[in-house]
Amino acid sequence: MTDLAITASGLRKAYHDKTVLDGIDLEVEAGTIFSLLGPNGAGKTTTVNVLTTLAKADGGNVRVAGHDLATEAKAVRAAIGVTGQFAAVDELLTGQENLQLMVDLNRRARKQSVADLLERFELTDAARKPASTYSGGMRRKLDLAMTLVGNPRIIFLDEPTTGLDPRSRRTMWTIIRDLVADGVTIFLTTQYLEEADQLADRIAVLDQGRLVAEGTADQLKRRIPGTHVRLRFTTAAELDAAARVLAESTKDDEALVLRVPGDGGTKSLRSLLDRLDEYALSAAEFSVHTPDLDDVFLALTGHATEVSAK
């Protein structure tokens, strides 16, 4: 039997008369990374707020670390660590004092963990400087270090890399992977498809308060149409002509792009190019496209993500 760190069934939450979460079911295995993926406004932060006892659910059953969220909130709080969407560090205190504050407030924390955490997150040099002087990446690291005081076994990370430069994002990913290697369970929200693809054992796609899909990155990718060839033309007339010749294709008039399904092999490519030649058509640009999570999202929700994975 697998050990479940988080279970939720029929989770609902509304603010005033606006439904934000409309019946969410989740199961997160202990020691894995679970990613909740969705665009801005999908309900990711609300989900984290409810699961971490910040907001009360209007309906549904949730157990976190084996404790019922509704009746044992205090026990849940003692078992989890939370890093919110915006680095919640005390700017007037130094990095060291921020960590010391967490140690003073935490029953299970050991005294020496401050030095250890500073070392581990490469903050030792900046330890005596006020957090207000830290860069965005350093703040996130300090924030996460503060979350780790007391060794929580379940960690919630709400968009941990939003607004970080690529290098800091890589660093954060490495830190997250190391945590899981130590047996910690991670519940991660992100709007970056690449991030979920890179890190998560399982991904749930959240859209307008509902889970529209759940599975591994590969399972999700398999749910959508396969490889296709993209042809971009310079004029609408050429695009239309090509669309008539290649009956199985779909065209995008705005981008002057034609998508032709195919397996990406040389044989089918040659026959495709031969057909274009036959009608004296030439594309300005040609690319073979294998599906990524962007396509998954588009296929599952019927609309594109607001922020691309780039």
Partner 1 sequence: MKSHSMVMLRRNFKHIARNPVSVFNAVLMPIVVMLMFVYMFGDAFSVGVDYVDYATPGLMLLAVCYGLGATATAVNSDMTKGIINRFKVMDVSRGAVLTGHVVASVLTNLVAIAALLGVAFLLGFSPAANFLDWLGAVGVVVLLGFATGWLTIALGLAAKTPETAGLASVPLVMLPFFSSAIVPADKMGPGLKQFAQYQPFTPIIETLRGLLNGAPATGTLLAALGWCVGIAVVGYLWASSTFKKRA
Under the rule (CB under 8 A), what is the footprint of partner 1? 49, 52-55, 74, 77-78, 80, 82, 84, 86-88, 90-93, 97, 101-102, 104-107, 130, 146
Q: Please report how close the Cβ of residue 77 comes to partner 1 at its closest, in angstroms.
A: 4
Strands 202-207, 33-37: pairing kind: parallel
> Closer to partner 1 at the Cβ: 56 or 177?
56
Closest approach of partner 1 to the CB of residue 177, in Å: 24
Q: Which of 300, 38, 303 is nearest to 191 (CA)?
A: 38
Report the relative pairing of strands 185-190 and 154-158 from DSSP bridges.
Answer: parallel
Decide whether 15 or 279 has the Cβ nearer to partner 1. 15
Q: What DSSP string describes 181-217?
A: HTT-EEEEEES-HHHHHHH-SEEEEEETTEEEEEE-H
Tokens of 205: 């796609």
Closer residue to partner 1 in complex, CB, 73/300: 73
105 vs 307, beta carbon nearer partner 1? 105
Encoded tokens for 100: 């010391």
Nearer CB in complex with partner 1: 27/97:
97
Kindly state the smallest distance separating residue 135's Cβ from partner 1, in Å.
17
Integer CA distances (angstroms), 255 to 35, 137, 233, 269, in order: 32, 36, 9, 22
Collapsed DSSP state (helix, strand, coil) of residue 64: strand
Measured from the CB of residue 54, what is the shortest distance to partner 1 in angstroms? 4
Q: How many CB atoms lie within 10 A of CB 167?
A: 9
The string of DSSP codes covering 244-270 is HHSTT-EEETTTTEEEEE----HHHHH
Q: Smallest distance, Å, CB 104 to partner 1?
A: 4
CB of 58 to partner 1, least distance (A): 14
Q: How far is the CB of 36 from partner 1 (least distance, A)?
A: 17
Q: Which is nearer to partner 1, 152 or 262 (CB)?
A: 152
- Torsion of the alpha carbons at 43, 45, 47 and 51, rounded to the nearest 10: -170
Nearer to partner 1, 83 or 301 (CB): 83
Query: Which ranges in 23-165 belong to alpha helices (H)?
Result: 44-51, 73-79, 95-105, 113-120, 136-148
Helix, strand, coil shares of the chain, percent, nearest 5, are 35, 25, 35
Cβ closest to partner 1, residue 90 vs residue 294: 90
Provide the angle, in degrees to the nearest 10, between the axes of the packed helices 95-105 and 113-120: 130
Q: Minimum Å distance from CB 242 to partner 1?
A: 53
